[in-house]
Structure 1
């Protein structure tokens, strides 16, 4: 999963319901491109370079995993979706919606189809003023000057009038403020770590990831499960306790909540499958002694995927020690989780079937999943 980059987009409209056109474009960008961080004020500005109706202009900052060329293609598609028909004649003209990439992180791109930073931005007050609202200290990577300096030096004499109506940021509709601690759980290959990473990044959460990769007994267990099952489960018991107690006790004032890709009760679920009955009874006694004072999550999300999809995901990520995991083992884990969750009366649990979803590659699936979590 690639790291998101910040893109700075200018939006304008001077046809029809201009404010609605801007909002529709913002909604499409949220649905198709990425997480919108901030939207500037809207300004009423005179048409630039031609005679026509006044424009409504704004700027926004978003985070996207798309490369700049792909981002441009999607923005042009959104313009078409909203009814814009581009004329082949040269010069400026009225348009129902206009979307331009002003900056893409601090990159400089100069191709036939795409120039970043936008080559005319420093000459246009209708770009610089809303951009100044949201990122006055952003430095132009070619001119080497901050947006505030470019605005002050701009020779455009257009008079901009602030519009006292704010556009809505659809990325703010997902409210996790009522939770202090969310646990994302699932079978091997269900995507719990991918979702946890995305949620932590998009919603300013403290991230807790299970340190399974550091466990030296895990590869040995997959080769000789009977020999190493108890050793593996005991090592996980100790490590999970150490990690979760440390992470939950360390207050982070700059984060809104905690999101983890595991819950400590997974130790009981896996050990019940991997251990003989007598060893499991001993293990369970130790578990409750160790975890009796550990905080439970305010929300427990179980990502269910069928075995076929789990095997495809396991194969795709290519961990050598997982290559021989059998369907029967995955079936038992799914059954173990579902049986465990049925017995829980004190946990706030959401079981979400994502067998036909790909929230890593498909943003629509990711937003669908967020909707299910927030319901």
Structure 2
């Protein structure tokens, strides 16, 4: 039988967000949980960013980050793993779409795969509109190419009007110091 690290791996980029409780610690916990999952190998992590809420704005600010992983899981299996981590870390979940949440994990890119099912759309269908997704992705690889638009994440970020409604501010190191200790 093959061990997980001997199976073919696909790079994937995930967005992580939280706006309930100790936000940097929530992200740190989710990252540790991802790293402890067999078949998922953490490759890179962005800075953490304080961001204003989108869509439903009457809620606390968010902390967002991006992470690059390599995985042996299919996109659907990876989604199941992410949903299980969300459920474990936030058993009550968000009260409504775009509402407050302790942790939110989204697949932004899965290799260069383009797909649409009832439960998963790749690349993420709204990523190109969201500074809170694009800015952290730029930290990891601003030259990463969107498989549909052909634009890099750096170019997509430059196209977004980053006024107060899209504000993305890096957290200071002291605000994130205890996350991995």
Q: TM-score, normalised by structure 2?
A: 0.87
Partner of 1:30: 35
Which of the two has greater strand per residue?
Answer: 2
When residues 122 and 84 of structure 1 are mapped into structure 2, their CA distance, relative to the original with a 3 A threshold, is: farther
Of 14, 18, 28, the match for 2:23: 18
Partner of 1:86: 93
Say if 2:93 and 2:102, in contact at 8 Å, map to a contact too.
no
Say if 1:103 and 1:118, in contact at 8 Å, map to a contact too.
yes
Of 67, 74, 79, the match for 2:81: 74
Partner of 2:101: 95
User: Counterparts of 1:68 and 1:119 in 2: how far apart (Å)?
Assistant: 15
Which of the two has greater helix per residue?
Answer: 1
Structure 1 runs (4+) deviating above 3 angstroms are 86-89, 166-170
For each residue in 1:250-281, what CA deviation from the matched residue of structure 2 results, as whole angstroms up to 9, or x when unmatched?
Answer: xxxxxxxxxxxxxxxxxxxxxxxxxxxxxxxx
Say if 1:6 and 1:62, in contact at 8 Å, map to a contact too.
yes
Aligned residues: 169
User: Counterparts of 1:74 and 1:13 in 2: how far apart (Å)?
Assistant: 18
Q: TM-score, normalised by structure 1?
A: 0.43
Partner of 1:57: 64
For each residue in 1:301-341, what CA deviation from the matched residue of structure 2 results, as whole angstroms up to 9, or x when unmatched?
Answer: xxxxxxxxxxxxxxxxxxxxxxxxxxxxxxxxxxxxxxxxx
The CA deviation at 1:2 is 2.6
User: Counterparts of 2:11 and 2:83 in 1: how far apart (Å)?
Assistant: 18
Unaligned runs of 5+ in 1: 171-375
Say if 2:46 and 2:136, in contact at 8 Å, map to a contact too.
yes
Partner of 1:139: 145
Alpha-carbon RMSD across the aligned residues, in angstroms, is 1.9
The CA deviation at 1:131 is 0.5
